[in-house]
A and B are shown apart, each in its own frame.
Chain A
Amino acid sequence: MLRSRSVVATLALTSALWSGAAEAKNVFLYNHPDLDWYSIETEHFVVHYPQSRKADSPHYVSAEWTAKKSAKIAEEMYPRMSAEFNYYIKEKVHIVIVDQGDELTGFTVPQWDWIEISANPGVDFYRQRGRMDWLPDVLVHEYAHVVSLKAQASHAEGAFGTLIGGLYQDGISNTATGAELLIGETDPQFWVEGGAEYWSDNAGYNWWTPSRDMHIRTTVLSDRILNYTEWQTQVQQTDWGDGERWYQEGYSFALYLRQRFGADTYAKFGLRQAKAWQFNWLHGVEEVTGVKAEDLYNDWVAYVTDKYNKQYEAVKAEGEVNGREMLLTRPDWEYADPAGRDKWLDPRRTRKGITGDDMARMDRERAQDRTGTWSMGSRYSDDGKWYGSNNRAVVSLRQLPEEAWPAFSGVNQGDLGNSVQDAYNSYGIPNVFMAAWDFIPKQDAVVIVGSESYATALTEKGAFSRHTGITLETDGYDWNELWVVPIPQDEEKDKNLKFQGIKHKPREAYHGARPIPNTKRASEPSVSPDGKKVAYLEYGDGTLNVVTINLDGSDKKHLTNFEDGTWIQRLDWSPDGSKLVVAIFRNFQQDLYLMDPSTGDVHALMWDRWEDMDPYWAKDGKIYFSSDRSGIFNVYRYDLENKKIEQITNVIGGAHAPSLTPEGNLLFNNYTAFGWKNYGLSRGDFFLKDVTSSFNLAVDPAVVKQSWEFREDLSAFKPEKYKGDIFAPTGIPIIRMSNDSLDDVSIQAGAQVSVSDYTEDHSVFFYGMAGSDMLFAGGYTYAGWYPTFNIFGYHGENKINGGYLLDDDGNPDTTADQANFQIRNQQYVNVGSLDVSYPWNDRFNTSLYWSGLEYGFKGGSDSRYQRYMVNTEAGLRVNFTNIAFASRSSNPRGGRNVDLALAHGFTDIVYEPYGGHSVDDGQLLDNYHYNKIEARWTEQIPMPTWDWLPQFIKAAGDRRHTIQLDFYGGAVDRNVDSNDEFRGGGQHPYYQGSDSLRPNTLFAGYPFYSLSGETMGILSVAYRFPIRRQLNRKIGPFYFYDVTAQVMGTAGNFWSYRAPEDESDYYRNAFGDRVAYREQDVRREIPFMDYAYKNGNSMLYDAGAELRVGAAIFNNFSWDSFFRVAYGFNRIRGYGDVNGDDIQDTTDNAIGDELSNETEAPGFRFYIGLGTGW
């Protein structure tokens, strides 16, 4: 009997393709429909910026000044930057200013002529790059990308490259081998980012600041410089500071080449690439300079090493005053004897079996990173009770006396046999990353920089959200604001330093925590000595202003009213509360000012070319601050009475953000190659070098006044309403190969094209592949209102070769009367869907969807396609995830993803040759409604490292071993056609996406989509462990960064309905299928109780192992690859060509149902993906 069951595979495949997810805009999760957009057009640019429709909006946004200033900078820089490459761009470049959030952003897509930057530089930009205006810096940097990447491109701008790929499946995936390769530009990262810095310098908008020097100096002196291969590739470099190293090392290299070969050397590298695509971009370096790229790299390393060694020698000759890191125990790297040294330098330091100097070096680097990489604002409370610091967005508070710190006492408690690490109350209060905070004098409380969503983390009311991850954000704004957080008064801990440790439960909430009203977009709080007011900085349109307010939110007073990009870094109250000291950056002057908090009157303390900032007004009346006077940031103090400035530290890193303890010791943040660290310096060790003459304290009030009152005229730049300008359409030509059967290899060619407008409200994509198999998909997304709307359409056609086994006597045991007949069929599917989604927060998303589908096929004797079925479905999808979308690790750890879908559907079987019916599980189906629920839960669990665990478990945790559990379940509330059932069986990421490589691959040990049923329950367990992390090897164009292994197993099944077995309850149709007289005689199988008649097993099991290799190709493109083998333990039966030999046995099986007579034996299945991702 002839049946066309092979169509199922295509239909199922299609279903997997169109399940769309909500799309966020590039920077923001929310659409911000409360904003209007305006544009300023100049000769070469169009600048777009947002403005709130309602002037009284609590989240009022206007980036008009930033936009006008950007337009001015852009036109000024255009000829200078164009001259760097002699490449004068004719097409207008669009600059989109965003100001909906408080974070820094800046990126470009040159092919789209699109630069997007935030008006707000965030809190730590200046510390990293030095004192330069944010707008010229970021804008010129991004435009340098636009010019350089366009000028050096070997490809046309309309294409990002060419994607070549294919998947060959042996049978129905006994083996499935996929490969994917994107041939695009091959430029190395150091040239791209370092070059953008360098050309900005050449164009006069950038310079090598002490901040940049600080970064590269510490990197070189600590031997943490990116090696020759590391600095080429931008994919998956995650060590602390590596991102900045690309920028600064590349910039430094360019400056070195400028001295040696001329100012245009870096540009020439790119122009060489522009002549013709190079397999290895660096060959052009040798062509331009006559020196091999690696030799040049080594020359530059030798140059900077010599330079910074000499600088360090000079510091040491003068007397290095560095203090000590604020650690309670002696770190391994401060070894005191040869044994300690040997332990620290041992190449087998932390791992067995995997050794090598590189690995040991990386382990040592990570050990030093672990004491804190982003620490800022360390200080003691006035009563000496609490020490705190903002470490990676958490204010860590410890109730610890000063003498406990080796940095002040000079005594390591650990050396005395004491353990003080956990001896006292300690709390972690969330705080904005790298932002300042302050104690409230005479209270056990702090003022932190939180945000509007901090109620979740800090209050009892946030318990539900804290535990579930579900919050309901409705306006899309989560601006910074100040919070008052009382420090908990828990049970008193033993103050004996010999106390051996108390474990603290994580705090559920901070009783009494509350936001300070009227402090949106606040930062850098400083509480007045009387504990009643807080002075802080308020952000708006690229500018900061000084504000004071009472702690209850009353009596808000603006002390400055800048509207011109003025930036301020730190402020503090005088001990008597009568003055403020403020560090203001304005017109390229960074100086300290005294300010009257009642009038706002200011008086400049100095007027020089140094970067003087981070003021702290100590109880002794002296102002401590940080300055780059010597080319290295150090802490200084200014005695207001005798106008004397003394240098307090003399470091080789960079000393910032000073404060004094009640005992007069110094706390500061020191920049190292391993991050921003909390340091302490005993008052007896202060450097105390008189450097008064280095500062210009004789300030001319007229000069200050002139600068203070200067207002740039930007009136020439006239805004107009945004007109919906669109990107240049771009795409990727695609060539791919696939096979529908062993002898039917299809080559397809096509492209993916997308286009959007610059505010990303509207975007359209089209994807088309044509060959003997065809696939066309298109979609439109509207992201201009609160929820995002997606409309999607899809048309697919397949031609499929196969064979039918005909059996004259219907007895499969007699083969003499059997014959194989080859056949070719065509099938099609059309899909349309509408999806309305809303992100309630960055973890929780819901969407309502509707979809329609029709599907049919055509044989050689059909003049037209015959429609088989139509289906429509509507439902709700819910997703919770705390796994970062951007996390591309091959060993993701510690995350959870939950998907839930509820749907109602309607199907009509319309295939005329079957009389408009189908038979499934003994039931005649015509048209029917159904309800469906589907749930998927993934839990990634790092192996624990708790002290009480056996050593081998702790060792596994230390080595980043991970357990992953996946549950996948679902139920349809009635018997449905096989096309509406759940499907399972091994998937390959070439078609199914990287998600299919999660351990729960719906039974990788069984053929692709071979399992089906109306009820599904599957549990997968995987154990994953790194074989090699930070491999960092480049072979040809391939860069390999890690290897991860995994073993996994799956148990579960798909259960369906059963036809009646009593002959009086059914009849047989023309195809020999049993059909029940009464629907109620078709019985639902009970999951985990019944065997599943469709595959013939009560439970299915498989086990497997895989190896994943993290890699990149051509410096820019991910090329993650894997090898997986899985063994299915059960023999299965099912539909159509079950054993995968391309021949469907059409003999009626002995059971007499619509399933095939074929079975698939237990066996291995192999999956290989070369560059297909995971």
Chain B
Amino acid sequence: MLLLPALISSFAPAEAAGFEVKTMRAPLSASEVERSLIIGRGWLEFGLGADVKFANGYWDQNGKAQDFEGARWLYTTERIGIRYGITRRSEFYWQVPFHYVQLTNEKLGTNTSDFGLGDMHFGYRFEWFRKDAPLTSVVTELEMKVPSGSEAPASYIGGPNTVESIVLSTGQPDLYIGLKAKQQLGPVAISGGATYIHRFSAVTQFTVEVEEYQFAGRFRPGDEVRVNLEPMVQLGPVAISAEGVFGYRLNAAMGTTSKGIIPDANLDPILGTNGWYLDVNPGIVAHITRGFDVDLGASIPIRGEDLAFWPLEEISPTRGITGSATLELRY
């Protein structure tokens, strides 16, 4: 009985002293084109965003656009992004996605939806070179994608249209190694880079290995190379950009687990799952205050080749335009 009064009486309104701006915090330009590829030391940025994609089709193995037969695919991502500038030259970053997904098949009369945590990404950016006014920034990224989402389809029978729950994870981790650069030229900036994505194998709950009749198969999506180029122009507090992304993926592989720390010896490539894609991502960044930006963007698939791993959007995206909006809150 004594506990409650004590707790209540002690909850005097706390002062926000702890959130005062620190002297050591790096300066941050109001202009997007002048900003480095890393966030400054001492800055903590929360990005709250959402992506919405309506897809009515896919790319076939020959890169030809095909429509679903009576099916609609709504794939949304609700993102929490965190960036923290830990030193003058480096930052940590996390991306925590949640997905709401709905699959409607009028032909079969099914309507399946799911919501849950997706696969998180976290990484470290180190700035090798930096020059201000005009800005030149060169960074290396080291990033992991981890299979934190649900990978249990709950049912193997009947195919994608009859699964009880939608898989939200690839079930295996990726390692991203990237080199990126940004060069400012007055109100214009160009950034671009290349990233190599190594995909590790893993036993996944959604993979059924049929030759050895395993309960679960070991699966490894193909490694990928991704290059991008993004021109940007600053118009007052607004920066407008258009990013082009080209990617090429190797064949995926599947099988049973072999001995050792890298247990891939028994994996067989799934021929035809390699392919390339080209997306264009226009975007706008509006600088509201020093602690608040709004990002709006879209991702438009131009060409692609199907990997046949639907519904794993992360490695086998459907064909559709994705719209996105992000609020960046900085402290």
Contacts and interface: CB of A to CB of B under 8 A. Distances in A.
Interface of A: 33, 46, 87-92, 94, 113, 150, 153-159, 162, 275-277, 723-729, 733, 742-749, 755, 757, 761-762, 770-772, 774, 782, 784-785, 789, 799, 801, 803-804, 821-824, 826, 836, 858-864
Contact of A863 (B12, B165, B259): B165
12 contacts: A87-B23, A88-B23, A91-B23, A159-B84, A724-B14, A742-B263, A743-B203, A743-B260, A770-B120, A789-B3, A799-B151, A863-B152
B218 interface: yes
List 10 A-B pairs, minimum CB-CB distance, nearest first: A863-B154, A860-B205, A749-B122, A725-B17, A156-B42, A863-B165, A726-B18, A771-B146, A863-B164, A724-B14
Given A724-B14, A770-B122, A785-B6, 8 more contacts: A91-B21, A156-B86, A725-B18, A755-B18, A821-B215, A824-B202, A859-B205, A860-B205
A46 B17 contact: yes
Contacts of A822: 203, 209, 214-218, 256-257
B18 A858 contact: no
B204 interface: yes
Contacts of B15: 723-726
Interface stretch (B88-96, B267-275, B276-284): B88-96
Interface string B195-236: 000000011111001000111111000000000000000000
A771 B148 contact: yes
Nearest to B6: A785
A824 B261 contact: no
B22 interface: yes
Contact of B173 (A113, A726, A772, A774): A772
A745 B203 contact: no
A771 B203 CA distance: 15
Contacts of B148: 770-772, 774
Nearest to A784: B10
B6 A89 contact: no
A157 B216 contact: no
A81 to B, nearest CB: 13
B10 A154 contact: no
B24 A749 contact: no
A275 B87 CA distance: 10
B310 interface: no
A90 B23 contact: yes
B153 interface: yes
Interface residues of B, number: 66
B14 A821 contact: no
Given A746-B146, A770-B122, A861 B154 contact: yes
B153 A157 contact: no
A728 B3 CA distance: 28
Contact of B96 (A154, A727, A770): A770
B285 interface: no
Interface in B290-328: none
Contacts of B205: 824, 826, 859-860
Contacts of B239: none
A155 B25 CA distance: 10
B7 A782 contact: yes
B41 interface: yes
Contacts of A748: 146
Q: Which of A33, A153, A863 has the most CB of B within 10 A?
A: A863
Given A156-B84, A860-B205, A862-B152, A723 B22 contact: no
Given A723-B14, A743-B263, A158 B156 contact: no
B214 A747 contact: no
A859 B152 contact: yes
A494 to B, nearest CB: 62
A823 B203 contact: yes
Nearest to A728: B18
A798 to B, nearest CB: 11
A1088 B84 CA distance: 57
B144 interface: yes
Given A91-B22, A742-B261, A761 B14 contact: no
B209 to A, nearest CB: 8
Given A92-B20, A156-B84, A749-B94, A726 B14 contact: yes
B173 A860 contact: no
B147 interface: yes
Contacts of A821: 213-215
Contacts of B37: none
B155 interface: yes
Contacts of B181: none
A784 B11 CA distance: 10
A733 B124 CA distance: 11
Q: Which of A87, A157, A761 has the most CB of B within 10 A?
A: A157
A2 to B, nearest CB: 9
B13 interface: yes
A767 to B, nearest CB: 15
Contact of B19 (A723, A728, A745, A757): A728
Given A154-B88, A789-B3, A836-B3, A824 B18 contact: no
Contacts of B13: 723-724
Contact of B147 (A92, A150, A276, A799): A799
A824 B165 CA distance: 17
A485 B41 CA distance: 61
Interface in B96-136: 96, 120, 122
B47 interface: no
B44 interface: yes
Given A159-B86, A726-B17, A824 B6 contact: no
A951 to B, nearest CB: 53
B81 interface: no
A860 B153 contact: yes
A734 to B, nearest CB: 10
Contacts of B14: 723-726, 757, 762
Interface in B47-101: 84-89, 92, 94, 96
A150 B12 contact: no
Nearest to B9: A784
A91 B213 CA distance: 64
Contact of B6 (A94, A157, A757, A782): A782
A78 to B, nearest CB: 13
B116 to A, nearest CB: 10
B91 to A, nearest CB: 10
A156 B20 contact: no
A728 B20 contact: yes
B9 to A, nearest CB: 8
Contacts of A87: 23
Q: Which of A276, A277, A726, A771 has the most CB of B within 10 A?
A: A771
A725 B20 CA distance: 11
A1139 to B, nearest CB: 15
Contacts of A771: 120, 144, 146, 148, 173
B129 to A, nearest CB: 13
B92 to A, nearest CB: 5
Contacts of B86: 155-156, 159, 162, 733
A836 B151 CA distance: 40
A748 B215 CA distance: 27
B24 to A, nearest CB: 6
Contacts of B92: 162, 733, 749
Contacts of A836: 3
Contact of A824 (B25, B84, B204): B204
Given A150-B23, A150-B24, A743-B263, A158 B155 contact: no
A733 B154 contact: no
A452 to B, nearest CB: 25
A748 to B, nearest CB: 7
Nearest to B42: A156
Contacts of A92: 17, 20
A772 B147 contact: yes
Q: Which of B15, B89, B263 has the most CB of A within 10 A?
A: B15
Contacts of B18: 725-729, 755
B146 A747 contact: yes
